[in-house]
Structure 1
């Protein structure tokens, strides 16, 4: 693949991190009851999540889950990507929230609350990017 796919994946990484960080901050503030804890958790994730998301995106770009040489139908692929990313993202959130709050239960509460909101937001993000041609030399079929 050409270098343009890297630009696309970087742009997807940045846009997803913006959406994800806002969601984490809101949930962390509500669950911890402390806006500063929420901000610390949300902003601490920016670096870890961008690196993890970029690696996840590059891995999925290289995975060919096809039958007869055709890429798996986009909605099924996006659901699979959603589930794998959510596992990685939730684990990262739980660990960071636990460290920052000092309470493992707070980490678990925030992590599990995100499972629902983030899966829905991620799926919508994937569907939106599927319709955008930025960084594609040609749309994969």
Structure 2
């Protein structure tokens, strides 16, 4: 079985999470600078089997798309052209950053490490992926 990858796309960096081959466990993989994400994804899928990308869909409280969606749409178009064999599903990512921060506190991560935005993005991607696995 191939893996499922989640991407928490951001203006500066993207959090990335991946499942195990049985698609049971979601784990944070890395954080990639947004300018490098497409080439990084292309290289990753050339080495590892990925059957699906799950990309966070940022929404406002009442369900309308947030401003970030304007950045994500061009990324999705480029991703589809670059890696057309792997489908993309979107998943509501409201509150994932808050949940990631709360998870860091509950895990006993130090205040200094909690300021690391890259770690928050990676945990957010893991939450998106775990939510997808739970609801599929």
Task: Sort the TM-score into its range (normalised by shorter chain).
Answer: under 0.3
More helix by share: 1
More strand by share: 2
> Larger Rg: 1 or 2?
1
